[in-house]
Structure 1
Amino acid sequence: MAFRLRLAPEHTNINFFAYQWPMLIGSCIMMLASIALWAVMGLNFGIDFQGGTTIRTESNQPVDVAAYRQALTGLELGDVAITEVFDPTFAEDQFVAQVRIAAQDGAEAVTPETIAQVEAALQGVDPSITFPSVESVGPKVSGELIWSAVLAVLGASGAILVYIWLRFEWQYAVGAVAALVHDIILTIGVFALFQIKFDLAIVAALLTILGYSINDTVVIFDRLRENLIKYKTMPLRDVMNLSANETLSRTLMTTGTTLIALIAMLIFGGDVIRGFVFAITFGIVIGTYSSVYMAKNLVLMIGLDRTEKPKTGTPDDFANIDA
């Protein structure tokens, strides 16, 4: 008989509603605290949202990002991002990088004196380096990026709401989206509390959290719908508990294996991606919690219509769509 790894017993009987109200109240308190932290402390915006200057470099020597960063450390530039640029049209001895420096003290761009210091420091690392272009991004463009990020998150949430509504019923959609809002607000609250840099990479992490969390929620909802057909007379609360227990092993296995990779990246990935990985790690943990406890609990509070419906000609025909 083949060995099968299970992070939970094959048959569990956990009462996920035992602390329904304390958990709901606790989640609401954490959401309010996150909003308060966001309003009072604000977010530590990175270059994408803060504005600044981008210096493009070219050299016939390979780009050494660590050496570039070390050379700029003593200049006290604040938030600096260094990335190597790859393009198939580049010549074999053409190596390009971008040095992005955040604006400081309310200025719209880095001063010419500071740019000259940066160029001199980089030339100390690589005398052959040149600077083909210097571009500045002001607060107006940064504000547009913030608004675009908000629209991206709202648009993704709205699309998920419509999908769950068509895939199941509107009660499921409300519970799922409420759980997603819970995940996003708590994640942003943690970034405000610890003043971790918030840039476009974190927005990408938030969208990843939305997709991961809704995937776990859909698995539980799908099993719930099957069990509602199978156990027509069982109380809704008991059917929900049964469904969550039946999918618990899958939930723990998926979350556990994902966290192994994320924790490794968090420890060994370096400063460049640490904020991005931290956001996804925290979001997956809180997303698993909301999928198991928040989403279905809200559906129970709203209630479901368990009466028999005609096979055709009903608004719920979309519930039979296979996804």
Structure 2
Amino acid sequence: MRLLKLIPDNTNIGFVRIRHIAFAVTLLLTIAAVALVGIRGLNMGVDFVGGVSIEEKFTNAPQVDEVRSTVNGLGFGEATLQQLGGKNTVTIRLPVPNSSDPAAVDQMVERVKSALAAKFPGASFSNYSTVSGKVSDELIRNGVLAVLLAIIGIAIFSWLRYEWQFGVSTAVAILHDVLMTLGFFALTWMVFDLNIVAAVLTIIGYSINDKMVIDDRIRENMRKYRKMGMAELIDLSVNETLPRTVMTSLTILLALGSLLIFGGHVLRSFTAAMMLGVIVGTYSSIYVSSSLLITLGLKPGPREEKPSPAANAERVGPREG
């Protein structure tokens, strides 16, 4: 079992010592991510920009990559495919340049039907539906609202459970993780749809779980080592939880790596977002969230509680007449 240990016992890595460098790198990456999103934008999927969903039935389960290449070759944009039921039915989602024009939509659907019928003999068209701009705008608002409420809720929970410094540092670290993910999609130009929103929420859940483990150990050591310096105490806490953090992240990355290789095109964007989120979330837990507690002025020792009036009266004692 000793050979399987990636992190040896009694590690003593000085994470806090380089916190200023980590803060500078984090700030530069965050600014770069925001700039990429602002300048380049995101490659929004049909869920967010509107489009058409076509349902096609095949005599036998087709190769999804062949269907995708056939549809993408028509020049309407990148298609998103999903197999339904016994995998003989495939849903094809395409963006439409002018989804409000019924004639343009009908023409596009006819071209897709003809191309699939020629490539796959026996394929038959079932139906199609369009996603309007109004619905897509509502999905964008709901997606952004879900992410913001998740961050705010986690910050409030950390504030109430620990100290206010924990709530602020956790919110900053999670916001950093979300911005890094958005910057990655702006850089790679992968399709950003509702599946990626689900991935972002999953990343937030993983990140907060990792941070809570470290925060619990920091609070425990604050009560145990009241005379220890805060920098030394945080290094001790992070090193104590480091084996758990590394093993958890590595296990998740192995599973996601399998999905990335064997999951196909449909899961590629989701898996890439999850892998990036695990790496960035682990980094922010160690270098951003924990080290930021020193900058925010957190001190060792439990929070002092004000004595109640009854306790004051008991300590002073009754007055002599």
Any idea what the Cα deviations from partners look like across 1:227-261, whole Å, max 9, x if unmatched? 11111111121111100010111111111111112
- Matched residue SS, 1:42: coil
Q: CA deviation at 1:72?
A: 2.3
For the pair 1:219 / 2:219, whether they are aligned, the reply is no
Report the residue type matching 1:98 in the other structure.
T
Q: CA deviation at 1:113?
A: 1.8
> For residue 237 of structure 1, what is the aligned residue in structure 2?
231
CA contact (8 A) 1:63 1:84 kept: no
CA contact (8 A) 1:47 1:79 kept: no
User: What is the RMSD of the two structures over their aligned residues, measured on CA atoms?
Assistant: 2.3
> For residue 208 of structure 1, what is the aligned residue in structure 2?
202
Cα distance in 1 for partners of 2:14, 2:279 equals 20
- Matched residue SS, 1:11: coil
CA contact (8 A) 2:16 2:234 kept: no
The answer for unaligned runs of 5 or more in structure 1 is 87-91, 314-323
> For residue 13 of structure 1, what is the aligned residue in structure 2?
12
Cα distance in 2 for partners of 1:74, 1:308 equals 65
> Would you identify which runs of 4 or more consecutive aligned residues in structure 1 move more than 6 Å?
none
> For residue 47 of structure 1, what is the aligned residue in structure 2?
46
Report the residue type matching 1:100 in the other structure.
R
Alignment of 1:95-106 (within 5 A): 95-104=88-97
Q: CA deviation at 1:268?
A: 2.8
Report the residue type matching 1:48 in the other structure.
D
Alignment of 1:132-211 (within 5 A): 132-211=126-205
Cα distance in 2 for partners of 1:225, 1:102 equals 51
Any idea what the Cα deviations from partners look like across 1:119-162, whole Å, max 9, x if unmatched? 12222355544434221112222111111110110111122112
Could you tell which deviates more after superposition, 13-22 or 69-78?
69-78
For the pair 1:266 / 2:260, whether they are aligned, the reply is yes
Report the residue type matching 1:118 in the other structure.
V
> For residue 309 of structure 1, what is the aligned residue in structure 2?
304
Cα distance in 2 for partners of 1:183, 1:80 equals 28
CA contact (8 A) 1:57 1:96 kept: yes
> For residue 319 of structure 1, what is the aligned residue in structure 2?
none
CA contact (8 A) 1:55 1:100 kept: yes
Q: CA deviation at 1:4?
A: 6.8
CA contact (8 A) 1:48 1:199 kept: yes
Cα distance in 2 for partners of 1:5, 1:181 equals 34
Alignment of 1:251-290 (within 5 A): 251-290=245-284
Any idea what the Cα deviations from partners look like across 1:26-77, whole Å, max 9, x if unmatched? 2112111111111111111111112111112345644553443243243222
CA contact (8 A) 1:12 1:245 kept: yes
User: Are the structure 2 counterparts of residues 149 and 174 from structure 1 closer, same or farther at C-alpha, using a change threshold of 3 Å?
Assistant: same
> For residue 317 of structure 2, what is the aligned residue in structure 1?
none
CA contact (8 A) 1:180 1:287 kept: yes
Cα distance in 1 for partners of 2:44, 2:150 equals 22
Among the aligned pairs, what percent are the same residue?
A: 39
- Matched residue SS, 1:54: strand
Could you tell which deviates more after superposition, 240-249 or 15-24?
15-24
User: Are the structure 2 counterparts of residues 309 and 4 from structure 1 closer, same or farther at C-alpha, using a change threshold of 3 Å?
Assistant: farther
Report the residue type matching 2:78 in the other structure.
D
CA contact (8 A) 1:56 1:98 kept: yes
- Matched residue SS, 1:284: helix
CA contact (8 A) 1:209 1:283 kept: yes
CA contact (8 A) 1:108 1:137 kept: no
> For residue 89 of structure 1, what is the aligned residue in structure 2?
none
User: Are the structure 2 counterparts of residues 308 and 196 from structure 1 closer, same or farther at C-alpha, using a change threshold of 3 Å?
Assistant: closer
- Matched residue SS, 2:16: coil
The answer for unaligned runs of 5 or more in structure 2 is 309-321
> For residue 312 of structure 2, what is the aligned residue in structure 1?
none
In terms of Rg, which structure is larger?
2
Cα distance in 2 for partners of 1:312, 1:64 equals 72
User: Are the structure 2 counterparts of residues 64 and 311 from structure 1 closer, same or farther at C-alpha, using a change threshold of 3 Å?
Assistant: farther
Report the residue type matching 1:159 in the other structure.
G
TM-score w.r.t. the length of structure 1 is 0.87
Cα distance in 1 for partners of 2:17, 2:162 equals 26
